[in-house]
Structure 1
């Protein structure tokens, strides 16, 4: 039987409203009321922010508080400025704040008792030995009597992120992803995202998915994987991108005869034009007009001979200007694939001093791009398709948020981020190499996809089946409320607005990889869209974490680092000295741990133990901390968008 969860929303609203009306009550209530006592998560976030500002001596009036929430990226998450006004209106006077706080804490204790009952019931049906069961039950009761642990307040969505769902990719791609991850002992996310970039390289600019009306999505992607140094990014790139370079060489060999023929035709036409010009120049006045007309025609014929350029699929670290020129030369298709993130600094103006994002913005959207050259007339690319596949270090992720125009002009909104768990220090030595059959299948099939689409000048149009279109509508209906000012994606509305389009693009790539040689002649079905939606769920969770990480301050990032260490070591208690030994390569001094540990304690992840009595002279013992017993249990996640359906 279901039972209502003890809570009182009106009392919670009254407490926060009283604190906004009379900021002095924050100090009085903070000693007895913690953020975890609030039933509604948004109220916990608000109370935590109020306590933090009060502790720092900063103003907590509604205007200053709203500005602080907006700067931290939390205003939309808690309902926006109008909700703060609602909270103030919910309480007529701040005089009864302590009474309302008592109601909130009473309900919080009752929820703890309900949780305790659930744990005892689960324990009773677990099949454990009766003696052990009774002992465990007594331990739970003792913990409750001592006050227990309230649920910790999340520092963000950085922890417990979903793993890359490589199994939904076509078998020849999935097999390669898993095999490369095993051999390199890297998270599956890295070869998985680079595999998507490889498919995008093969199909980008050569196929579009037609959703409905004039809505078409090109099949090129921007993917960025974030991993620390020493994560074997280069080895993964070599395995996943190598076949593209092989396909590029095959295209070059196939194009060479046509290039040689065109070069010869150009030289011959040039000689003919030169002789005609000389004849016209040396002719007398009576016959010069005719010879001049012949010379003009010969010159125009020579100018009309076009020598094809050598095909190029992949570039590494190019400037925006070079990327534009290559797109024009290569018929609108180019991929920038690199195990480093230097391209971000380049387009931010490292060499020119001026950011140039236009090529990357238009190259993702497929908008017409004009290329001006000094040596010849301006060219334009009707539908450019630029692919981006990078693996960057965490510091690069934090830097790009501050690069001019990256967020404001929409570059970050176009990127599918992946923040996999770091495997360094836990890798298996002597892992099995990639089986030859898997490597051969991946190389052969990726090359076949490149070749099957290489000759197309106009992109193939991939329509959706009616059921696939309905599935896309389901996704749109699920996404829209999340983009509202009070929605869970309000702080990443720029990224979320492109979410459905990204899912459609991935569906197109999966479709083409499923049907290597004739995918352009088949519609995209609902099952393929469903598989792409699974990838969409993955990238949505990681995007929330990435944007939180980009907006987090140093103490929050270091707190996440400490939490990762706690989870990795499964420690239940530690000293500050032990922690510093483990993280000193990333946190320079032991003093830098003090605000980090305070933040973790404020969020309920750790508790500092009372120091033992001093036995004599000498340095005091290192502070000791207990870890929240539920820390290693994965947190709940938002319902995946792929499970959302239209209301009846």
Structure 2
């Protein structure tokens, strides 16, 4: 059989995915199973992005059969029928994820895919035309799946069959003029007798095997021939069908359709993904490291939460004071967008509250000390506004007399004073609940820098348009990169923000990230690629009432650093943090490493990976600033500090953190480790182990697990367990009354490995 290529995604059952970066060479049964275990396509596309316009080439034609043509089981076809319809043609077959399941209102029945290896085709129209010809020959194939960019869902524990042959399907189509199969009626006319009886012989052998019953049925069907075929001709047809049937049934891995229940069990796929790496806490400077560890112990949460939290907090405090120089014409700001992903009851709010505690204390103290200054500033501005308005009210009287020039000079003086006046306002480092328009105003009112820090993900609802159809996400895109923002407003003053700087720290539930990733607008415009994600392991169920409190010394050291950064004022140009020569060498190596990942195993995450080097530079800047307590800040009149430099050790630590975020980003872009619906399946599995059951029904799931609220929920759980190999369909009583196309109480066998684990 010809080898052929299948291109896979890194997900299963994701209809919104269009990226298929991983090429698998199919040369045998094992490589075929490996390929179809993930969502996949049978062609290569520009940028690995599936679409007809991006079609490059293919050496395999996939066809889909759901047996939707009839509800009579006797009319259903299997891959064996395909072999009979295309004698001598080689192909692989796999049973789809909905094989012998209800689907789209249709009862359970055989559903499968056929993969025909071919010589390479580089024209999408030619490729699609062959699919049309194949469907014309075997009309049971889905006529809605004939385009050149069709994808196929992956299947857990796929059941496959291999049909050897000397011909490709394109060879076969070229040698024969395909004709529709004759309808089996009262007579079989001359000219179609041999082909019709050959096809019937295959069907009857599939149904009854090599038996007298099968032969008797074949001979009865032959009596419909007009004129009759002689005994010798009938014998040749029957022997040919027997020979072909025996060859097929002897193939390695071949499983007759009626024997599926007897197939040996394979190891089920885990519902949980691989354990995410822990945050490299040793990479943080002492003050951040000690405090993150202390917060983790106090709240009994993984250190990842606090570690990401302190990084984001320092970033928020640094505002737009610094930039990191990658090279002479490349400078990165030090703001980062970060998200902590965890289920409810994981104490996300407690961690966020503790990491920003010194920021809140500083803001409160600062605003208390300067409250008179703020009020006086407001009064002075109001006085200037009143003076301007008073002069304008006199303009009609003085506009024409000899004092007009004096008046103009006077009002110009007031206007200039008002325009150049900078109102002192209370310090604001971050906001929680906001809108895109209000966020732009906050940037303008706070020296072009602000942060969003929240223990909820409500901001995603805002920017996705949940509360308004007129949402502009440009502020989030531009404020990440330090671009200028200009907003014209009707009936109000326009807003202009120069070199906008926004930092974000959120803690959200996995479902929120799932919705974020499914938002094509966010993905295509690069919003999701700007975030650094962390999915810490859960400590729920392992916590105790008593926990170690945060020591005063550890908190004091962290607070001193936060205060020191907040006391800095932007007196002129942004300060540039440079890399040492050794750090520059590391940057080059790191850049090359990321660049190879962009065209390798992480191609489908290229949007996020493309920003990793820049984000790592930002992290390096945060680490460098967190390593020093500056003396020339606030009201101190001490010696000037030396410039901050990112040395080899600091940049190496930043790289460790960057690689940590890469693994967690891949998890965030996927199914978030354990999906919420999988948790229900895991709970049912525990109940099956506890009861040591060998069979299960939907009704028993609802009886054993009282928290399952409906038959639909129970069936969804069973479907997940079946897809991942923990159970499989055991028996259906055809006499049972059907409900919505599904028997009332299907019986599933339980994988023996479930009880042995």
Task: Report the TM-score, using the length of structure 1 for normalisation.
Answer: 0.70
Paired residue for 1:558, among 661, 673, 677? 677
1:500 is matched with: 613
Matched, 1:549 2:640: no
Change (3 A) 1:403 1:323: same
- Structure with a larger share of its residues in helix: 1
- Structure 1 residue 407 displacement after superposition: 1.4
Distance across 1 between alignment mates of 2:333 and 2:275 = 32
1:362 is matched with: 478
1:470-505 deviations in Å (ceiling 9; x for gaps):
222222222223222xx3222222111111111111
Change (3 A) 1:14 1:425: closer
2:352 is matched with: 237
- Structure 1 residue 239 displacement after superposition: 0.8
Matched, 1:593 2:688: no
Change (3 A) 1:586 1:204: farther
Is residue 573–residue 625 contact of structure 1 (8 Å, CA) maintained in 2?
Answer: no
Is residue 26–residue 50 contact of structure 1 (8 Å, CA) maintained in 2?
Answer: no
2:309 is matched with: 194
- Structure 1 residue 583 displacement after superposition: 10
Is residue 325–residue 371 contact of structure 1 (8 Å, CA) maintained in 2?
Answer: no
Is residue 529–residue 607 contact of structure 2 (8 Å, CA) maintained in 1?
Answer: yes
Matches within 5 A, 1:210-229: 210-229=325-344
Matched, 1:52 2:97: yes
Paired residue for 2:661, among 530, 536, 539? 539
1:292 is matched with: 407
Which stretch has the larger CA shift, 327-336 or 265-274?
Answer: 265-274
Is residue 510–residue 532 contact of structure 1 (8 Å, CA) maintained in 2?
Answer: yes
Distance across 1 between alignment mates of 2:613 and 2:706 = 39
- Greater relative contact order, per chain length (Cα 8 Å cut-off, separation 6+): 1
* Greater Rg by CA: 2
- Structure 1 residue 70 displacement after superposition: 7.9
1:461 is matched with: 576
Q: State the secondary structure of the residue aligned to 2:522.
A: coil
Change (3 A) 1:265 1:49: farther
Q: State the secondary structure of the residue aligned to 1:208.
A: strand
1:549-571 deviations in Å (ceiling 9; x for gaps):
17x9xx97634664699799999
1:133 is matched with: none
Structure 1: gaps spanning 5 or more residues: 1-7, 29-46, 75-87, 106-145, 612-618, 632-648
1:134 is matched with: none
2:604 is matched with: 491
1:425 is matched with: 541
Q: State the secondary structure of the residue aligned to 2:523.
A: coil
1:646 is matched with: none
Is residue 534–residue 661 contact of structure 2 (8 Å, CA) maintained in 1?
Answer: yes
Matched, 1:395 2:508: no
2:204 is matched with: none
Paired residue for 1:320, among 436, 444, 450? 436
Q: State the secondary structure of the residue aligned to 1:192.
A: helix
- Structure 1 residue 574 displacement after superposition: 7.2
Change (3 A) 1:393 1:267: closer
Matched, 1:333 2:452: no
1:386 is matched with: 502
Distance across 2 between alignment mates of 1:215 and 1:100 = 65
Change (3 A) 1:175 1:60: farther
Change (3 A) 1:21 1:313: closer
- Structure 1 residue 324 displacement after superposition: 0.7
Is residue 348–residue 356 contact of structure 1 (8 Å, CA) maintained in 2?
Answer: no
Matches within 5 A, 1:81-230: 102=252, 158-230=273-345
Change (3 A) 1:585 1:528: farther
1:509 is matched with: 622
Change (3 A) 1:263 1:14: closer
Q: How many residues align?
A: 536
Distance across 2 between alignment mates of 1:97 and 1:445 = 77
Is residue 573–residue 624 contact of structure 1 (8 Å, CA) maintained in 2?
Answer: no
Change (3 A) 1:354 1:266: closer
1:337-379 deviations in Å (ceiling 9; x for gaps):
1111111111112222233211111111212111335565423
Distance across 1 between alignment mates of 2:390 and 2:715 = 83
Change (3 A) 1:240 1:579: farther
1:477 is matched with: 592
Is residue 245–residue 314 contact of structure 1 (8 Å, CA) maintained in 2?
Answer: no
Q: State the secondary structure of the residue aligned to 1:462.
A: strand
- Structure with a larger share of its residues in strand: 2
Distance across 1 between alignment mates of 2:251 and 2:575 = 63
1:488-534 deviations in Å (ceiling 9; x for gaps):
22222211111111111111111111123278812212221211121
Is residue 681–residue 717 contact of structure 2 (8 Å, CA) maintained in 1?
Answer: no
Structure 2: gaps spanning 5 or more residues: 1-24, 36-41, 43-58, 66-76, 81-91, 102-110, 117-127, 129-144, 157-166, 174-243, 256-262, 632-640, 732-744
RMSD between aligned residues: 4.7
Matched, 1:11 2:31: no
Is residue 277–residue 292 contact of structure 1 (8 Å, CA) maintained in 2?
Answer: no
- Structure 1 residue 306 displacement after superposition: 2.8
Change (3 A) 1:244 1:378: same
Paired residue for 1:248, among 356, 359, 363? 363
Which stretch has the larger CA shift, 467-476 or 369-378?
Answer: 369-378
Is residue 222–residue 415 contact of structure 1 (8 Å, CA) maintained in 2?
Answer: yes
Change (3 A) 1:620 1:398: closer
- Structure 1 residue 55 displacement after superposition: 6.3
Q: State the secondary structure of the residue aligned to 2:646.
A: coil
Q: State the secondary structure of the residue aligned to 1:470.
A: helix
1:638 is matched with: none
Distance across 1 between alignment mates of 2:754 and 2:283 = 36
Change (3 A) 1:374 1:231: same
Matched, 1:530 2:643: no
Change (3 A) 1:596 1:506: same
- Structure 1 residue 411 displacement after superposition: 1.0
1:606-629 deviations in Å (ceiling 9; x for gaps):
477999xxxxxxx99996444479
- Structure 1 residue 174 displacement after superposition: 1.7
Change (3 A) 1:21 1:375: closer
